[in-house]
């Protein structure tokens, strides 16, 4: 396994560890030959929501290329909050095959990184906490 893939995998593990809203996480690197790997993982958050993610990555000498990704985020009741993926099943989006499922809608998006997804989740959790605190102070 080339060092770039191992370094990339470690950067994902580090991002999970550094997040203030991640309560626990698990990630694995499945080697798919000397220059490819499948990274899969799960993060559980302080509000009991959960992110499942996977990335198929390839080492092309000087950089990592993701050839597939999925970031599936759901609440504590296992209801979808959002999912980013590049499965080519929504040709109508301008960023095809990259898209985001949010509720019932599918929108065009740039391919996210785990770090940007964690920032979005952090903002969601913080906003929900602030709303909950505001609601309880009105009682």
pLDDT in tens, 56-100: 999 877 789 999 999 999 999 999 999 999 999 999 999 999 999
pLDDT in tens, 16-50: 999 999 999 999 999 888 889 999 999 999 999 99
- Cα pseudo-dihedral 88, 89, 91, 96, rounded to 10: -40
Q: Is residue 102 pLDDT above 90, yes or no?
A: yes
pLDDT of residue 1: 45
CA distances from 80 to 17, 58, 77, 93 (A): 23, 29, 9, 20
State pTM to two decimals.
0.90
Q: Is residue 10 pLDDT above 80, yes or no?
A: yes
Range of the domain at 115: 3-137
What average pLDDT does range 2-15 have in this prediction?
90
Instruction: With beta carbons less than 8 A apart as the criterion, state whether 77 and 93 touch.
Output: no
3-state SS track over 124-136 = HHHHHHHHHHHHH
Distance CA 111, CA 97 (A): 9
Distance CA 139, CA 103 (A): 30
Classify 111 in phi/psi space as left (phi over 0), alpha (psi -120 to 50) or beta: beta
Total domains present in the chain: 1
What average pLDDT does range 120-137 have in this prediction?
86
Q: Which of 106, 32, 17 is nearest to 67 (CA)?
A: 32
């Amino acid at each position: 396994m080339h060092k770039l893939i191992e370094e990339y995998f470690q950067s994902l593990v580090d991002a999970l560890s550094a997040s203030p809203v991640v309560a626990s996480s698990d990630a694995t690197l499945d080697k798919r030959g000397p220059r490819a790997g499948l990274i899969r993982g799960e993060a559980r958050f302080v509000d009991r929501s959960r992110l499942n993610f996977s990335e198929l990555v390839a080492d092309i000498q000087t950089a990592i290329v993701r050839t597939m990704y999925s970031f599936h985020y759901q609440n504590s009741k296992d209801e979808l909050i959002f999912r980013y993926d590049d499965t080519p099943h929504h040709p109508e989006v301008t960023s095809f095959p990259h898209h985001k499922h949010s509720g019932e809608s599918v929108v065009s998006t740039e391919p996210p990184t785990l770090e940007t997804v964690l920032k979005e989740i952090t903002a969601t959790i913080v906003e929900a906490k602030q709303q909950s605190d505001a609601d309880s102070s009105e009682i």
